Amino acid sequence: MDTNKTLGRLERVELRDYWEHEGSDFTPWLASEENIALLSETIGLELEVQQEEAAVGPFRADILCRDTASDELVIIENQLEKTDHKHLGQTITYASGLDAVNIVWIAARFTEEHRAALDWLNRITHEEFRFFGIEIELWRIGKSVPAPKFNIVAKPNDWSKTIKESTSRRGTLTTGQQAQMDYWAGFGTYLEEQQARFKPPKPYPCNWMAWGIGRSGCSMMAIVNAKEIAVRVEINQRKHPTWFEKLQEEREDIESELQFTLTWEERPNNKFSVLSIKNELDTRDEKNHRKAFAWTLKHMSAIDKAFRPRVKELDDTPLHDEE
């Protein structure tokens, strides 16, 4: 073994040495596409920045985002110091004024009492409210450019919330709904086993689960029925009336990349237009579940790879210039 090899040493960088001001330095840095993607990866939500310094009731949230999978609001509150009661109060105020929201509180350091407060909020609130506590650090080796590191110190326990709420209505769950819960739990386990890029879904009594695909207004769904499974892309036709047609113009290239054919359904009178692929399979037989999971993941991965870069480039300009 060569004992003369040298390694660098990690050196902690003070946040204020790099970002002097929260509002004018740190918030714009975090709101950039590259850096919000780092936070997205950390918390398992696909974030799309909507606005900086957004008005939320009597306060102004540092960054307002949407989760592209669920279209839910995500409010980010930044603090380059140790957490304090003022920011805790603001996170509760944000949640109280919105029907469904994810709160992400980023700070240099969380006190134990504030971490415990977020854990408590995650335990007692409805599953549509989620509170994340994130500590940010900067590190470098020698004279290298500092690198950010996000550490989760508090997060929602979605599984516990789902179990708590489903237990409260256990008497109302049908046999079919319980089967759906079991199916999605199994699919989540399969995604973890395969180390897939997709976040395992919360088990819930419904026949579909959704994931983001690069932008709000467009999502990918896995669907399970008694004798059929499917993967589909939904495009919000009301918010983005030109997106479907723009993607359809690339149909030949898209399906060449996918190596399978999609069914394209433009629905101008409905909220969503749909692209899908289906597979006949009896999912009532649990022996077929692993086959269903493998087929679904394979097609989700292909669709995500083909559509994500294209969806990110879409805009709402008219498809054809008016004459």
Confidence at residue 320, expressed as pLDDT on a 0 to 100 scale: 63
Q: Which two tokens stand for residue 126?
A: 């409805």
Contacts of 116 (CB under 8 A, 6+ apart): none
pLDDT beyond 80 at 168: no
Q: What mean pLDDT is predicted for residues 173-189?
A: 89
pTM of the model: 0.73
Confidence at residue 116, expressed as pLDDT on a 0 to 100 scale: 96
* pLDDT-derived band at 323, boundaries 50, 70, 90: very low
* pLDDT-derived band at 322, boundaries 50, 70, 90: very low
pLDDT beyond 80 at 127: no
Confidence at residue 167, expressed as pLDDT on a 0 to 100 scale: 47
* pLDDT-derived band at 275, boundaries 50, 70, 90: very high
- Of the listed ranges 63-72, 92-101, 177-186, the one predicted with least confidence: 92-101
Helix%, strand%, coil% for the chain, nearest 5? 40, 30, 30
Share of the chain above pLDDT 90, in %: 60
Select the more confidently predicted residue: 164 or 44.
Answer: 44
CATH 3.40.50.300 fits 10-156, yes or no: no
Q: How far apart are CA 27 and CA 24, in angstroms?
A: 6
In CATH, the number for domain 171-313 is 3.30.1460
- DSSP character string of 153-193: EE---HHHHHHHHHHHTGGG--HHHHHHHHHHHHHHHHHHH
pLDDT beyond 60 at 169: no
CA angle (259, 261, 263) in 5-degree steps: 155
Domain boundaries, the chain: 10-156, 171-313
Average pLDDT value over all residues in the chain? 88
Among candidate residues 202, 283, 275, 268, the one with its CA nearest the CA of residue 237: 268
Are the beta carbons of 34 and 146 closer than 8 angstroms? no
